[in-house]
Amino acid sequence: MIRLKEEPNSEQEIRRVLHPLVSQWFFSKFKEFSLPQLFGVLEIHSRNNILVSAPTGSTKTLTAFLSILNELIDASKKGILQDKIYCVYISPLKALNNDILKNLIEPLGEMEKINGEELGIRVAVRTGDTSTYEKSKMLHRPPHILITTPESLAIALSSIKFKEHLTNVDWCIIDEIHALAENKRGVHLSLSMERLQRLSQGMCRVGLSATIAPLMEVANFLVGEGRTCKIVDVQFLKKLDLKVISPVPDLIEISYEELNKKMYTILDELIQQHKTTLIFTNTRSGTERVVHHLKTKFPKKYTLIEEGPPTKVSSLIGAHHGSLSKELRLQVENALKNGELKACVSSTSLELGIDIGYIDLVVLLGSPKSVARAMQRQGRSGHKLYDTTKGRIIVLDRDALVECSVLLKDAVEKKIDRIHIPTNCLDVLAQQIFGIAIENSTSIEEIWNLAKKSYCFKNLKRKDFDEIIDYLAGEYTKLEDRYIYAKIWHKEGMIGRKSKMGRLIYMSNIGTIPDETGVKVKVGEQTIGTIDEGFLEKLRRGDIFVLGGDVYEFKFARGMVAQVGAAAGKTPTVPSWWSEMLPLSFDLAMDIQRFRKLMAEKFGHNKTEKEILEFINQYLYVDDLAAKAVYNYFKEQYKMIGIPSENNLIIEQYTDEKGKKFAIFHTLFGRRVNDVLSRALAFAISRSQHKDVEIRVTDNGFYVSAEKKLQVLQAFKLIKPQELEQILQLAIRDSEILRRRFRHCAGRAMMILRSYKGKKKGVGRQQVSSMLLLNAVRRISEDFPILKEAKREVLEDAMDIVNAKKVLEMITENKIAIKEVETLIPSPFAFNIVLEGYTDIMKIDDKQEFLRKMHTLVLAKIGIKG
Amino acid sequence: MEIINGVEAKSFGLYLKKEKVAVISDLHIGFEEALNKQGILVPRFQFEDLTNELKKFLKDFETKIVVVNGDLKHEFGTISETEWRQTLQIIDLLMGYCEKIVLIKGNHDTIIGPIANKRNVEVKDYFVAGEFFICHGDKILKNKEFDKAKNVIIGHEHPAVSFREGGRSETYKCFLKGKFKNKNLIVLPSMNFVTEGTNILREQPLSPFLKNIDDFEVYAISEDEILDFGKIKNLKTLS
């Protein structure tokens, strides 16, 4: 059903279907068809579903549009062009939509020029920014190609009049599908696609993707259940020139300042050697920092001063990230396009295919954490088809060196790590069913069948589906209150719109992206910056962190304001970037573990230094300097406690100078898995040994710690794979992450209306409301569908319970052996686990017990009389 | 628990032993409806909770007068039929435990009149029982009776106290006891279970009676007990 297209079509085959006008235009612009075009154009012409996976700048978009433009021009010339939408194009970014519009209008203009008269083909963008006037114009004269976003499509599907134009669509293109498939926007879109397909039965689907895996699953996501799809895989079209760079030969015997200085020197050298460099930093704060440092360290190189009069000062370096205003971002994009910048620093915002002109080098500062993401980022260089992709990853510690070296190996050997596509998201389902009910009175069976066609809901349980219908019909409340809660009516197997307000509520609250504003950080009344809400969640009184280059101590938070005090000179206790930190992909983690295993074997077999260096050199594609650094790192570890690896889990116990006990688990499975394992363990300890424990999680492992010695292994063995989910459900019950995700889910399911009666609720207001809502919902049931979804989201999307379970199974089947060791100081591999990561506390007592405990504590400390 | 001589704190209310007067405050009936009207679809438990809590509070006392110390109803736009009915039901329930009900006007009670008329309860700005002067607390009343009173009981503040240990934080409603000029001052917690109340360790009090509360004592309420936590200033240094 879904299969790879192995052979491209010939140029003749494609020429045969092209209208002479199109053909003439094409070859006036290009010498020949590109590989993606040879594979894709005919399939789209024949209206076959197709997924094209190719790097950015490989003419993917024109591949998709060539057949469609051809069809429209043919119809226009024959005088049979209808007033209907032939093609719906969807991309996740408004900016990309505007690029596409431009890239369609231009060729159409050129073809009209060749033709000598207008062709009458209309292209229009419909997004949240489109004016009412333009929308009503579209209503009367629909564009032949509609360019839109997932959210605007869902709105269009529920608008009575515009919907009429969506009943005979021939093609639907989903661009940048890799950026949608792994989050709830994609889940939402998958249902919109089914709704669109219900209106336009004959529509074919075209998916365009950058590097991604597994292609089979993404294709399945694109077309839904029971439909055919061809896959075109030209992901490795461009030649790769990738390297991992360590700024110094020895990453351990060097101060942070020294290392930083070297890093900027290298970065500057790289920029100066190239025309335009794009730098990715992983975080928004990092982006600002790098721009700032480059400008101050090398003032002459990054600022252009043109002698006057008047003297003109312009920057040769720009920052681009999601917190910047639309205007600022556009400014930087344009400057890049015009070749005015020497370098541009971005967090993740320039990963997608917005047109940014010619880039000849991409530098990644820090690990991109997944092979696919590394490829997507590095793919931004050499924008032309057969250019070489040039990428450099600069690493600043030894774990990153090993991680990025293995990542590079995977990239060179074309091993792409697999993405996780969320499934059975009940909040999204609720929103879409509400949308369908607004469209028309519909039978529940029809909706059930529709939902089951989406890849994301193919395994949906009927019980969950029915509960969502009940939820929407307000059936969780008493009969006399129901009119307040019901969004739909539900009678004799049918559902429909409850009131006129319903449409307005739906339209103004649609979408899946939660509102997340930054938390204001203040010293007294003075605002000094913002931090992520997720970062605030983890902060504890007394924590020291860096913001905008200065050091602060966290005092307390009130709503969306965090009060801090200056703490110059103190050492940060929390890394300020981890809240935005990307988790290490499971596949890449396993590959690093495999490398560890091979290294353990080499040392175990007493291989000489030379032999091992040779092995590293050829296995990892790194230079001698890097190989030596890797060698030293592993040797130290091997000598101290041995090398943990894929079949050898080491639990390292040590006591710090204050007498606090630590049990470090060398579980290199990525943070999403470690989050599950550590919480389950902490829960098991707190239940069986009645102790409070602290946990800290990183990609490479985790630790649990307590004041007294813990029976860690004993507790770890209590966790049975088949009980893991049950344990986690309890373990996350009072966690901050569940509260936050519940707020998001309640927003998506429209239980909290973010926008209502013309008023928008701030995040702070939503937070307070969602706490009240969570308490109330819990009294109905712990399985209330929206709460159930929040738990699923935490366990499956934010964390990775599926792979965590696999790890536990491997342990129970003795495929992973466990070794316990005692150390006086943490072993080399444990350094970052102890220093980095984020912490959480697992508490044992209930709320009343907690109050008594606090009471005893207060009595003891200040001695008041009973 | 006897909070000062002759005053018993129980559940979320006070009972004046000699005077046989029960005092409760800030019920905010209709709070959930108000949230619903803002597009927050909180299911409703308030009425059920309030009914249970009132019964628990009043069942062991021999009460002559129940004083509702302000904000019986959470007013927000118009009153729905349900809210109207529930308010009357609560008044009827209270009536079953006492001879007379006094409603003190709170800042949220601008249209309490019609309800009071319907059930023949008294609506006042303040109420005096023996040495106790009872008022809502949103403003300071100046009159002879106030000057004479040894003890003042207010509501309005919705006091609560938050305890934090490690990553965990829990909030409990509480009574406050302190001084206003030379009088004893007791602040009642709100008898509204939808909200947690205002954390007095962190936020600035609203009531003009509570200018400096560092020396006030905190009595935190848990499921079936009230615990004396001592002075606020000490708790502040701990949290």
How far A182 CA sits from the closest chain B CA (Å)? Answer: 29
Cβ-based contacts of B218 with chain A (< 8 Å) = none
The first and second tokens of residue A844, run together, are: 């044992």
Name which of A545, A579, A248, A575 is nearest A396 in CA terms.
A248
CB B40 to CB A753 under 8 A?
Answer: yes
pLDDT at A311 over 80: no
Res A1: pLDDT: 87
Cα–Cα distance for residue pair A509/A491, rounded to 1 Å: 25
Cβ-based contacts of A478 with chain B (< 8 Å) = 44
Express each pLDDT in A788-810 by its tens digit.
Answer: 999 999 999 999 999 999 999 99
Indicate the SS3 state at residue A672. Answer: helix
Res A863: pLDDT: 58
Of the candidates A477, A779, A862, the beta carbon closest to that of B234 is on A862
Exposed / middle / buried, residue B119 (Cβ in 10 Å: 0-12, 13-18, 19+): middle
How far B122 CA sits from the closest chain A CA (Å)? Answer: 31
CB B167 to CB A840 under 8 A?
Answer: yes
Which residues face A391 on adjacent strands? A242, A362
The first and second tokens of residue A60, run together, are: 């993917």
pLDDT at A313 over 80: no
Cα–Cα distance for residue pair A327/A321, rounded to 1 Å: 12
Res B121: pLDDT: 87
E strand intervals along A761-849:
817-822, 838-842
Average pLDDT over residues A543-554: 73
CB A851 to CB B228 under 8 A?
Answer: no
Lowest mean pLDDT across A302-306, A570-574, A585-589, A808-812: A570-574
Residue B106's domain comprises: 2-238
Sign of torsion over alpha carbons A85, A87, A88, A94? negative
Average pLDDT over residues A739-747: 93
Relative orientation angle of helices A462-472 and A785-792, to the nearest 10 degrees = 130
Indicate the SS3 state at residue A544. Answer: strand
Question: What are the φ and ψ backbone dihedral angles of A550, each rounded to 5 degrees?
Answer: -110, 160
CB B43 to CB A757 under 8 A?
Answer: no
Cα–Cα distance for residue pair A631/A599, rounded to 1 Å: 9
Name which of B2, B27, B26 is nearest B15 in CA terms.
B2
Please calculate the CA angle A585-A582-A656 and round it to the nearest 5 degrees.
95
Cα–Cα distance for residue pair B24/B15, rounded to 1 Å: 9
Instruction: Give Cα A120 distance to the centre of its chain.
Output: 40
Q: What percent of chain A has pLDDT over 90?
A: 60
Of the candidates B45, B228, B238, the beta carbon closest to that of A776 is on B45
How far A744 CA sits from the closest chain B CA (Å)? Answer: 13
The first and second tokens of residue A266, run together, are: 């290298």
* Mean pLDDT score across all residues of chain A: 89
Exposed e or buried b per residue across A212-246, where buried means at least 16 C-beta atoms within 10 angstroms of its C-beta: bbebebbbbbbbbeebebbbbbbbbbbebebebbb
Cβ-based contacts of A751 with chain B (< 8 Å) = 40-41
Whole-prediction pTM: 0.90
Q: Are A679 and A630 in contact (CB under 8 A)?
A: no
Cα–Cα distance for residue pair A115/A77, rounded to 1 Å: 10
Res A384: pLDDT: 66
The first and second tokens of residue A394, run together, are: 């600069």
The first and second tokens of residue A331, run together, are: 């400014």
pLDDT at A212 over 50: yes
How does residue A864 score in pLDDT terms, banded at 50, 70 and 90?
very low
Please calculate the CA angle A181-A787-A455 and round it to the nearest 5 degrees.
25
Res B165: pLDDT: 67
CB B195 to CB A558 under 8 A?
Answer: no
Q: Give the residue, B73 or B155, on which the prediction is more confident.
A: B155
Please calculate the CA angle A39-A43-A49 and round it to the nearest 5 degrees.
115
Cα–Cα distance for residue pair A679/A716, rounded to 1 Å: 11
Of the candidates B45, B172, B230, the beta carbon closest to that of A864 is on B230
Express each pLDDT in A231-287 by its tens digit.
Answer: 999 987 778 899 999 888 878 777 777 888 899 999 999 999 999 999 998 777 778
Res A866: pLDDT: 39
Number of domains, chain B: 1
Res A60: pLDDT: 86
Q: What percent of chain A has pLDDT over 70?
A: 93
CB A850 to CB B40 under 8 A?
Answer: no
Exposed / middle / buried, residue A80 (Cβ in 10 Å: 0-12, 13-18, 19+): exposed
Lowest mean pLDDT across A208-217, A353-362, A629-638, B182-191: A353-362
Cβ-based contacts of B227 with chain A (< 8 Å) = 851-852, 855
Name which of A487, A289, A150 is nearest B41 in CA terms.
A487
Res A577: pLDDT: 46
Q: Which of B40, B45, B85 would you mutate first to test chain A, the one with the most A CBs within 10 A?
A: B40
The Cα-based distances of A268 to A290, A342, A460, A629, B54 in angstroms read 11, 10, 53, 23, 72
Name which of A593, A662, A594, A604 is nearest A638 in CA terms.
A604
Residue A723 DSSP code:
G
pLDDT at A394 over 60: yes
Res A847: pLDDT: 62
The Cα-based distances of B147 to A124, A715, B97, B142, B152 in angstroms read 76, 65, 31, 8, 10
How far B150 CA sits from the closest chain A CA (Å)? Answer: 24
The CA dihedral of A281, A283, A287, A292, to the nearest 10 degrees, is: -110
Cα–Cα distance for residue pair A365/A40, rounded to 1 Å: 35
Which residues face B218 on adjacent strands? B176, B230
Q: Give the residue, A174 or B114, on which the prediction is more confident.
A: A174
- Smallest CA–CA distance from A840 into chain B, residue: B167
E strand intervals along A179-271:
204-209, 229-233, 239-245
Cβ-based contacts of B2 with chain A (< 8 Å) = none
Tell me the count of A-B CB pairs closer than 8 A: 106
Which residues face B23 on adjacent strands? B14, B67
Cα–Cα distance for residue pair A589/A584, rounded to 1 Å: 7
Res A660: pLDDT: 84
Express each pLDDT in A119-177 by its tens digit.
Answer: 999 999 999 889 999 999 999 999 999 999 999 999 999 998 999 999 999 999 999 99
Express each pLDDT in A362-391 by its tens digit.
Answer: 999 888 999 999 998 988 887 666 678 899
How far B56 CA sits from the closest chain A CA (Å)? Answer: 18
pLDDT at A574 over 70: no
Q: Residue A428: which residues within 8 A CB-CB, separation 6 or more? A: A184, A187, A188, A191, A456, A512, A748
CB A752 to CB B235 under 8 A?
Answer: no
How does residue A548 score in pLDDT terms, banded at 50, 70 and 90?
low
Q: Residue A356: which residues within 8 A CB-CB, separation 6 or more? A: A278, A333, A336, A337, A344, A350, A380, A383
CB A772 to CB B195 under 8 A?
Answer: yes
Of the candidates A541, A751, A854, the beta carbon closest to that of B163 is on A854
The first and second tokens of residue A253, run together, are: 């015997």
Exposed / middle / buried, residue A604 (Cβ in 10 Å: 0-12, 13-18, 19+): exposed
pLDDT at A843 over 60: no
Indicate the SS3 state at residue B238. Answer: helix
Relative orientation angle of helices A500-509 and A150-158, to the nearest 10 degrees = 170
Highest mean pLDDT out of A450-464, A650-664, B87-101: A450-464
The dihedral region occupied by A79, where left means phi > 0, alpha psi between -120 and 50, and beta the remainder, is left
The first and second tokens of residue A332, run together, are: 């930087």
pLDDT at A865 over 50: no
Task: Count CB atoms within 10 A of the CB of residue B175.
Answer: 24
Cβ-based contacts of B46 with chain A (< 8 Å) = none
Res A517: pLDDT: 67
Average pLDDT over residues B30-46: 91
- Smallest CA–CA distance from A852 into chain B, residue: B227
E strand intervals along chain B:
2-4, 7-10, 13-16, 21-24, 65-68, 100-104, 122-124, 126-129, 132-135, 151-154, 159-165, 168-180, 183-187, 198-199, 217-221, 226-231
How far B187 CA sits from the closest chain A CA (Å)? Answer: 20
Res A579: pLDDT: 47
CATH assignment of the domain containing B18 = 3.60.21
Q: Are B173 and B197 in contact (CB under 8 A)?
A: yes
The first and second tokens of residue A49, run together, are: 């579903």
Q: In what order do the strands lie in the sheet with A145-148?
A: A2-4, A229-233, A50-53, A204-209, A171-174, A87-90, A145-148, A123-126
Please calculate the CA angle A664-A670-A671 and round it to the nearest 5 degrees.
75
Annotate A360-377 with DSSP letters as a single string. Answer: -EEEEES--SSHHHHHHH
- Smallest CA–CA distance from A774 into chain B, residue: B42
Q: Are A825 and A655 in contact (CB under 8 A)?
A: no
Indicate the SS3 state at residue A317. Answer: strand
Cα–Cα distance for residue pair B5/A866, rounded to 1 Å: 16
Cα–Cα distance for residue pair A449/A83, rounded to 1 Å: 31
Q: Residue B95: which residues within 8 A CB-CB, separation 6 or more? A: B101, B119
Q: Are B126 and B135 in contact (CB under 8 A)?
A: yes
pLDDT at A39 over 60: yes
CB B41 to CB A751 under 8 A?
Answer: yes
pLDDT at A549 over 60: no
Cβ-based contacts of A756 with chain B (< 8 Å) = 38-39
Express each pLDDT in A672-683 by its tens digit.
Answer: 999 999 999 999
Res B52: pLDDT: 95
How does residue A484 score in pLDDT terms, banded at 50, 70 and 90?
confident
CB A478 to CB B229 under 8 A?
Answer: no
Of the candidates B36, B45, B228, the beta carbon closest to that of A484 is on B36
Indicate the SS3 state at residue B217. Answer: strand
